[in-house]
Amino acid sequence: MEPLLRFENVSKHYPNGVHALKGVSFEMAEGEFISVIGPSGSGKSTLLRAINRLIPISGGTVWLDGQAVSAQRGAALRQLRRKVGMIFQNYNLVYSLSVLQNVLHGRLGYMGGVKGVFGRYSEEDKQEALDLLKELGLEEFSYNRSSDLSGGQKQRVGIARTIMQRPKLLLCDEPIASLDPSSAKTIMDLLKTMTRKRNIACIVNLHQLDVALKYSTRIIGLSKGEIVFDGRPEELDDATIEQIYGTSRKNLMIGGERNDQKNSAHCA
């Protein structure tokens, strides 16, 4: 079967000389939950943004659902992007709009012409959005301004928006880096259950090694733009961690405790 996502020798040079990705290749099947780990500047964000062409790559090919992403332009690219949802560290909602409006933004890619431009959503879409908010425990905030929500709630709205898109693949760019430990756990649990329930493959960029170990079915370790580890969480040994982060595992745990989950100090 054709894999959902395939990176073929992908590289990226930025105009400022930074070589963010160096010949990265991997495949991803449906239903996988991959965590991408690595220190700041290792190319995690670039890798994620290469998938939906938010960042155009300089070499190689990204295959998404059988189509080469870099070959797409205009309407075809927009159609391809609909299949890929994205969650951001800073939620990136339109804060002057209601929670429901933000959730409905996920449908914009499916609405052509005047309807999309003026945001005339169908009743079915509205009902689906309300049901989704209920599922995420945000029912009573549906008609609040998005700016009134807490960080964890904003991220839940972000999840709802992306689920509305009915994606095949979900990209999460450090989804819990701005959250407190308890909200971070809620968000990770939601990501896991929502994607499993809807059979959405998921790639998460993480700074927290312990979270990556707990939630993912597979971990990709990036260091200086190259994949240095690709395997199941159990296979990740201390030597590899040292290779990824350039320091021993002991130094990565600020609290010292190995199972000190979601130590938010890691975000820095």
Partner 1 sequence: MNADTVNCAAGAAQRPVEKKRSKIPVKYRQRNRFIPMFLAGVAALSVLSLAYLDIDWLKMTSRAGDIGVVFWDLAHLDFTNMDLILSSLVETVSIAVLSLLYSLILGIIFGMLAARNVFRLPWLSVLTQSFFTFLRAVPTPVWVLLMLVCLGMGPEAGVAGLCVHTTAFFTKSFAQSFESIPEETIEALEVTGASRLSIFMNAVLPAALSQIVAWAGMRLEVNFSECAILGMVGAGGVGYVISNSLQGYDYGTAGVAILLVFLVAYCIERVFVRIKKKFY
Residue 96 interacting with partner 1 (CB under 8 A): yes
Residue 209 interacting with partner 1 (CB under 8 A): no
The DSSP letter of residue 98 is: B
Of 3, 13, 41, 97, which lies in the binding site for partner 1, with binding defined by CB under 8 A? 97
Residue 84 interacting with partner 1 (CB under 8 A): yes
Of 165, 183, 208, 223, which lies in the binding site for partner 1, with binding defined by CB under 8 A? 165
The pair phi, psi for residue 246, each rounded to 5°, is 70, 15
Count of residues touching partner 1 (by CB under 8 A): 34
Rg of the chain taking only CA atoms, in angstroms? 19
Of 108, 130, 228, 253, which lies in the binding site for partner 1, with binding defined by CB under 8 A? 108
Binding track over 52-71 against partner 1, x by CB under 8 A: x-x-----------------
Which span (36-44, 159-167, 174-182, 198-206) binds partner 1, by CB under 8 A? 159-167
Of 25, 79, 182, 243, which lies in the binding site for partner 1, with binding defined by CB under 8 A? 79
Residue 14 interacting with partner 1 (CB under 8 A): no
Rounded to 10 degrees, what is the CA torsion of 101, 203, 209, 18?
A: -100
State the minimum distance, in angstroms, from the CB of residue 127 to partner 1: 19
Residue 49: strand, helix, or coil:
helix
Tell me the C-alpha distance between 86 and 158, whole Å: 8
Helix, strand, coil percent values for the chain (each to nearest 5): 40, 25, 35
State the minimum distance, in angstroms, from the CB of residue 108 to partner 1: 4
Of 6, 12, 44, 105, which lies in the binding site for partner 1, with binding defined by CB under 8 A? 105
Of 9, 90, 127, 248, which lies in the binding site for partner 1, with binding defined by CB under 8 A? 90
State the minimum distance, in angstroms, from the CB of residue 31 to partner 1: 21
Tell me the C-alpha distance between 156 and 150, whole Å: 10
Of 15, 16, 66, 118, which lies in the binding site for partner 1, with binding defined by CB under 8 A? 118
What stretches of 14-90 adopt beta strand conformation (E)? 19-28, 33-37, 59-64, 67-68, 84-87
State the minimum distance, in angstroms, from the CB of residue 79 to partner 1: 6
Closer to partner 1 by CB, 83 or 262: give it: 83
3-state secondary structure 114-141: HHHHCCCCCHHHHHHHHHHHHHCCCHHH
Residue 156 interacting with partner 1 (CB under 8 A): no
Helix H or strand E segment including 212: helix 209-215
Concatenated DSSP letters for 130-190?
HHHHHHTT-GGGTTSBGGGS-HHHHHHHHHHHHHHT--SEEEEESTTTTS-HHHHHHHHHH
Closer to partner 1 by CB, 12 or 154: give it: 154
Residue 95 interacting with partner 1 (CB under 8 A): yes
Interface ranges with partner 1 (CB under 8 A):
52, 54, 78-82, 84-86, 88, 90, 92-97, 101, 105-111, 116-119, 158, 161-162, 165
